[in-house]
Amino acid sequence: MEIPQNILNKVIMRPDYLDWIENEASIFVYLDLTNMFHWQDTLGWKFRIEDLIKQLFSYPSIKEIKVYYGSNERDKKNSEAFHNRIKKTGAILRTKSMKFITKDINTGMFFQRRTISLLDGSAKEKIKELISHLEVSGVIIEEPKCNFDVEMAMDMLDDSDKLSAVILFSGDSDLVSPLERLKVRGKNVAVCGVRNKVAAELHAVKDKYLDFGKLYTGKKTYIESENPAFGGTA
């Protein structure tokens, strides 16, 4: 038997999280999905985006949810299928094409300079051998990039007249400035994240911190084809 969402909210969530959400008149939610996928390594489990959005919409005070996630033109079928899953939830999807940045093969790909300086000669030699092997092999290493900081900032400021509070699902310090502007306008700010993945600047500006692991009530295990991190299927 499926447990009603309102019961899950009361049983699983921290009471102070529920109180903060329920005491607001009009909350808008902004999800930086690429940033959130990195949380899964820290959590040790994988969240399901549909379950999260369903949970958030179960609170009457949450009026709108915007999700920011790129479109992969190299895997268009899976990318569009995942986008459709988000749209079916009632959330607003903001997307644009991912860019793929070719990385220079060097020690900086694997270690910071400070870390390299701590290694002995033998370790440094091993790293040089690895770099040489990659260069000779002709392998091309690309990094997908699709940053939505500007879009998220503009949306938050454009929405400011319609909301009493925001919940930001991101740990990116680049979003501090729009949050500070919202606070000047008398809006409350909650930041949702996981340990060691939220910038100190966000902690400084927030009114309420929500630990994602103590907020989320949805599925944590399911077949890989359902996993949003892999694109999933419709």
- Residues of the chain with pLDDT > 70, as a percent, come to 91
Structural domains of the chain, count: 2
- Give the model's pLDDT for residue 232: 44
Average the pLDDT over each of 61-65, 67-71, 114-118 and give the range with the smallest value: 114-118
Domain membership of residue 39 (yes or no) is yes
- Enclosing domain of residue 123: 104-140
Report the C-alpha gap between 195 and 160 in whole angstroms: 28
- Give the model's pLDDT for residue 234: 39
Q: Per-residue pLDDT tens for 34-47?
A: 999 999 989 999 99
Domain membership of residue 149 (yes or no) is no
Domain membership of residue 13 (yes or no) is no
Burial class (CB in 10 A: 0-12, 13-18, 19+), 127: middle
* Domain match, 109 and 89 both: no
- Give the model's pLDDT for residue 207: 97
CATH number of the domain encompassing residue 45:
3.40.50.1010
Q: Using pLDDT thresholds of 50, 70 and 90, give the confidence band for residue 99.
A: confident
* Block residue for tokens 């979003």: 175
Give the tokens for residue 86: 């988000």
More confident residue, 101 or 232: 101
* Domain match, 184 and 87 both: yes
Give the tokens for residue 31: 């999800």
